[in-house]
Amino acid sequence: MFRSIVEPAYAFFFRKPIYVHFYPYPKKLTKPQLKILESEFDFYQKLSPRLKKYFEHRVASFIEVYPFYGRDGLVITDQVKILIASTAIMLTFGMRTYLFTIIDKIIVYPDIYYSKSNDNYHKGEFNPRMKAIVFSWNHFLQGFEITNDNLNLGLHEFSHVLHFQGSLKKDTSATIFAVTYQEIMEQIKRPNNYKRLIESNYFRIYAYTNKFEFIAVILEHFFETPTQFKREFPELYEKVRSMINFSE
C-alpha cells in the first residue's frame, strides 16, 4: 500500500524505483557456472562484492525461468546459458523488474539461420508472436570479442525485448523506461538534434532505420563506448542512463 502510493511520486521526481535489489533467499550458480561468469563477463568483474551477489542471483533466476533450445545440432552448455543470461541481466540490472514476461524461451542456432517469420536469414531476432528471442551463437560471441566496436548482438536483441516490454507493462521500471524513451524520441525529432546525430557518424546508419532500431543501437553504444557517448552526446547519455537506471 505504502509503495503503491509513494513510489509513483518518488519515481516521477528521481527517475528510479525506491529500491532495486531485495532478495531474502538469493539464488546461487553452480561452481562451473560461476567460474564462467567470473572469467568471461567483464561487466560482472567490475562490480562490488555485494552487487556481484545480486547479479549472480538474477542470472541464476533467468536460467531457472527460461528454457534454452539448441537448433541445427547446437548443444546448450553452461557457457551458452551464462553469457546469454548475463547479457540480459546487464541491461536490466538497474531495474527492479529484471525478467521479461513477453518471452518464454531462448533459441540458439550455431550460425546464421533461416526465419519463417519474414522469409529471411538472420543472426538474431526477437519474435513476439513466438515469445522467443533467437541467436546465432557464432554472432552472439562475436559481440564480445571486440568490446568497443558498438556491435553486440545480444545487447541489441534484448534491447528490443526491453523496449517492447516497457511499452506494455505498468510496473515502476517499465514506466520509467517508457516515459524516458518518449522524451528521447521527442528530442531526436528536433531537426538540429537529428542533424547533429547524423553528422557525428557516431551511431551507425542502421540506427536510423526506425525508432526500434534506434533505441537498440544506442543501448549497444551505451555499454560498449560509454566514455565517447558521454563526451559526444552528454544529454542523450544521461537520458539513456536514467531510462534503465544505470549506476556508473
Q: Are 98 and 60 in contact (CB under 8 A)?
A: no
- Condensed to tens digits (0 to 9), the pLDDT of residues 172-209 reads 888 899 999 999 999 988 999 999 999 999 999 888 88
What's the confidence (pLDDT) of residue 71?
A: 97
What's the confidence (pLDDT) of residue 64?
A: 98
Cell of 100: 521479461
pLDDT at 102 over 80: yes
- Condensed to tens digits (0 to 9), the pLDDT of residues 230-248 reads 999 999 999 999 999 998 6
Q: Which H or E run includes 125?
A: strand 124-127
Q: State the DSSP string of 11-72.
A: HHHHSS-S-S---SS-----HHHHHHHHHH-HHHHTS-HHHHHHHHHHHHHHHHHS-EEE-T
What's the confidence (pLDDT) of residue 2?
A: 46
> What's the pLDDT band for 119 if we cut at 50, 70, 90?
confident
> What's the pLDDT band for 8 if we cut at 50, 70, 90?
low
What's the confidence (pLDDT) of residue 12?
A: 59
Q: Are 193 and 218 in contact (CB under 8 A)?
A: no
Q: Are 113 and 121 in contact (CB under 8 A)?
A: yes
Torsion angles phi and psi, residue 109, rounded to 5: -105, 155
Compute the average pLDDT of residues 132-161. Answer: 95
How confident is the prediction for the chain on average, in pLDDT?
A: 92
Hey, CA dihedral for 145, 150, 153, 159, is it positive or negative?
Answer: positive
Residue tagged 528530442 (cell numbers):
187
What's the confidence (pLDDT) of residue 216?
A: 95
Compute the average pLDDT of residues 42-47. Answer: 96
pLDDT at 33 over 60: yes
Q: What does pTM read for this prediction?
A: 0.93
What's the confidence (pLDDT) of residue 11?
A: 63
Could you give the CA distance from residue 75 to residue 128 in angstroms, rounded to a whole number?
A: 24
Could you give the CA distance from residue 88 to residue 165 in angstroms, rounded to a whole number?
A: 13
Could you give the CA distance from residue 96 to residue 10 in angstroms, rounded to a whole number?
A: 14
